[in-house]
Amino acid sequence: MCGIVGYLGNNDCIENIKQGLLNVEYRGYDSAGISYIDGNKIVVQKRVGNVQNLFDTITCPDGIHCGIGHTRWATHGEVCEKNAHPHLSFNNKFSLVHNGIIENYAMLRDNVLSEIPFRTDVDTESIVNMVAYINQEKPEMPIVNCLGESLKSLQGSYAIAMIAKETPDVIYFARKESPLLIGVADGETFISSDILGLGKNCEKYVVVPNGVYGVIATDGIKAYKQGGKPYELEFKSMISLGERADKGDNAHFMQKEINEIPAVIVNTIDIYLKPLNPLTIIEPSFWEGIERIEFIACGTSYHASMVGAMFAEDNAHKVARTHFASEFVYNPPFVDEHTLCVFVSQSGETADTLHAVKVAKEKGAKTLGVTNVMTSNLVHVCDHTLPICAGVEVAVASTKAYNAQVTVLLLLADFLRDGNYETIARRISSEAMTLNLEEMWANAKKFVKKISNSRSIYFVGRHMDYITCLESSLKLKEISYIPCEAYAAGELKHGTIALVEEGTTMLAIVTEPKLISKTLNIVEQAKARGATLIYYTSLNLKDFAVKDKDVMRAPVVDVELSPLFSIIPMQMVAYLVSVGKGYNPDRPRNLAKSVTVE
């Protein structure tokens, strides 16, 4: 979380930083700020609130060509102007933006920097003050070396961009764990936490490797490894970012991203059906000797992994389990060189997931990433990575990426069985092409009022439907703030049914014919105790005395593919409820798109 950008070039720096910040704002929107040098002075302007609010309420001079900017998701210190980035050093000679966490900031502040006045509650201030302190102690030392020296004392993670009063047309940078990229165009250099934050006209980019720091100046970029050894950055041609930050005719990115689901699935399948595709280009020996598969992820990606594990076990006949990344690191299962660990992450930057990769590698496991961002950290740390090809996902609540993850994991399950995933790939693609999204939106609308008026909602289902319950519940709670939980239907009677009373809404998901009576028996018990029921199904429930008005229709698809498609109307419901309540579904409170802290 937190997005950083920097610009050095011939064009309008302020406008470039603004555009960059808008493109990385999904990483956090508690506050925003910008810093540049005007005459002989470092200027810092910051505001609580989003990037647009910052630029609506500040004025900047013309003719600025170098600067840095930040959009914050608060970790240390409350959300207020004082704690917003950029942070100035105690002597006003340096200004710095940071994404990450400095774990030993209090120790630095209270020991080495104990004589120095701190102005904020933020860990970042210890970095900029450390640079200024070293610069004050050793004025002959080049600033880039002062930065290199400062990094030695930091524990934690960081992506840093810094400007210095003494060197007006220069940006200093450093990276450890948190993402940082540099992009170059004719006469311009950009720096950002995400490829989306680099300028539209960038021709080349590089992901700054871990442990590298350096300096961007008008005469070029110099980089160093920790210890000061020069390091050659390897730039690549820029990838196409045509669709970034463009909502088209949609009111929100989330709406756009839901509408893209059929195309995303078809596109993903097309890529995996090419003769040279992400699965078959991996050397065959990687797949040999796998005895068990562990899927590791967080949030929505965890739910996609549950589908992946279920199918891997059923189709590939391997023991397959799912783990929360944040738990895997403390309580890893038995993992060795015969274990395939699959790390699923839309962003590829989730700190919990990246930590879990480290743990799995230490135990000798084979590691496979599944991600939407092929420039992300996950790609660098895993042995191999499968792209999900969902295109840029901006809304904080993940939708199309979930469907793309499930698609790739379904292919993987069949691939692990006998290498042949073409049949399922073609089935998925043809189902995706027949989806009628307009009808789904219309059906979803009918239930918005009932759901919006609920005090709390229980999603219940069995087997694959239980996974859809989990993801539906997460989607609804994160953008509508209605308390909701998902339960395996059979578990209700073992305790949770005690919570049911008049006013409880229960949403039963039933898409597998063999489960109808078992799931409905349970929800009838809840109904008898006062629960209001909504049945979400693709099946005919007439024989079960269910009234049509209580039935929300799920898409009629191949039962085996239900988790991939039946989630779509639930994503729509969550979106519509959020909008109906007057919230911005793209920017839910307290959340950020990629969670880069543990």
User: Is 363 considered catalytic here?
Assistant: no
d(Cα 439, Cα 436) in Å, to the nearest integer? 6
Residue 469: which of 428, 408, 515 has the closest Cα? 515
User: Cβ distance 73 to 4 under 8 Å?
Assistant: no
CB atoms within 10 A of CB 155: 12
> At its nearest, how many Å lie between ligand M6R and the CB of residue 311?
19
Nearer to ligand M6R, 153 or 353 (CB): 353
Smallest separation (angstroms) from ligand M6R to the CB of 478? 6
- How far apart, in whole angstroms, are the C-alpha atoms of residue 79 and residue 10? 34
Contact 12, 61 (CB under 8 A): no
Catalytic residue among 2, 341, 382, 469: 2
Strand partners, 34: 45, 69
What residues contact 242, with CB distance under 8 A and at least 6 apart? none
Question: In the block, which residue shows the tokens 């992901």?
Answer: 207
CA 142 to each of CA 35, 224, 449: distance values in angstroms, whole numbers, following the listed order:
21, 13, 63
The residue of the chain with the least Cβ separation from ligand M6R equals 299
Give CA separation, 253 vs 244, 249, 523, 579, in Å.
10, 10, 35, 12
Spatial CA neighbour of 459 closest among 399, 493, 504: 504
- Of 207 and 298, nearer to ligand M6R (C-beta) is 298
Q: Which is nearer to ligand M6R, 23 or 347 (CB)?
A: 347
CA dist., res. 72 & res. 177, Å (int): 17
Q: Between the CA of residue 377 and those of 156, 235, 349, 371, what are the distances in Å? A: 16, 16, 6, 10
User: Which residues 6+ apart lie within 8 Å of 494 measured at CB?
Assistant: none
Q: How far is the CB of 4 from ligand M6R (least distance, A)?
A: 18
Nearer to ligand M6R, 215 or 370 (CB): 370
Residue closer to ligand M6R (CB basis): 374 or 591: 591
Query: Counting every residue, how long is the chain?
Result: 598
Rounded least distance, CB 373 to ligand M6R, Å: 8
Q: Which is nearer to ligand M6R, 86 or 569 (CB)?
A: 569
Q: Nearer to ligand M6R by C-beta: 377 or 504?
A: 377
3-state SS record for 485-548: EEEEHHHHHHCHHHHCCCCCEEEEEECCHHHHHHHHHHHHHHHHCCCEEEEEECCCCHHHCCCH
> Which is catalytic among the residues 18, 93, 176, 593?
593
Ordered DSSP codes for 303-341: HHHHHHHHHHHHHH-SEEEEEEHHHHTTS--S--TTEEE
**Chain residues in the site for ligand M6R (CB under 6 A):** 298-301, 345-347, 350, 353, 396-398, 474, 478, 591, 594-595
Q: Let me know if 2 is a catalytic residue.
A: yes
CB nearer to ligand M6R: pick between 398 and 504? 398
In degrees, to the nearest 5, what angle opens at C-alpha 319 toward C-alphas 314 and 320?
A: 80
Shortest distance in whole angstroms from residue 23 CB to ligand M6R? 17
Min dist. Cβ of residue 343 to ligand M6R (A): 9
Cβ–Cβ under 8 Å, residues 208 and 173: yes
Is omega for the bond preceding 168 within 30 degrees of 0, making it cis? Answer: no
In this structure, the number of other CB atoms found within 10 A of the CB of residue 40 comes to: 7
Reading the block at residue 563, the tokens are 């988790």
CB 183 within 8 A of CB 202: yes
Whole-number minimum distance, CB 593 to ligand M6R, in Å? 7
CB closer to ligand M6R, 350 vs 578: 350
- Cβ-in-10-Å burial (0-12, 13-18, 19+) of 374 comes to middle
Residue 372 Cβ vs ligand M6R, minimum distance, rounded to whole Å? 8
List, by residue number, the catalytic residues: 2, 593
